[in-house]
Amino acid sequence: MAPISRRLLPSAVLHAAIAMAAASYCVPGQAIPLSPLPGCRWYAASRACGGAGVALAPLLLPVPLWHVKDACCRELAAVPAECRCRALRAMAEETPAAVVGRACWLAQARFAPTVVAETECGLRTVHGIRFCYARGAEDNND
């Protein structure tokens, strides 16, 4: 049996190649919708800010949080795995801080990468796991 380092190398090379290819088409309007993940925007605002300070939060009140989460997970599942972290970043960047307030916007930006986690949507990403680096950090790995 090959040493573990020999078995991990092909996997690491494959993930690096996928990340490089993802950089060219993981942009809004191609693999990512032009207005990315509106359901995730609502979900992130509800989870990160508790609805407080969100100008449109009253519209969420009649909708259970699990329903908003399901919509977010469906939207995110439709994005190719190698583009999910970038889609979440684009979603966070497109949310106007003036609408949600600066503190809520920052909380959403910190929460957004966790949406792919097992406890949230449980979706794989460019990293091959259910994890996104902090917002924007994947650019350093391309």
Predicted TM-score (pTM) above 0.75: no
CA-nearest of 82, 81, 84 to 113 is: 84
Question: Per residue in 61-101, pLDDT tens?
Answer: 567 888 889 999 999 999 999 899 899 988 888 877 777 77
Question: Per residue in 19-52, pLDDT tens?
Answer: 554 557 888 888 998 888 988 988 888 888 875 4
Neighbours of 97 (CB within 10 A): 13
CA distance 86 to 82: 8
CA distance 8 to 128: 13
CA distance 56 to 120: 23
Q: For the chain, list the domains and their CATH numbers.
A: 4-141 (1.10.110.10)
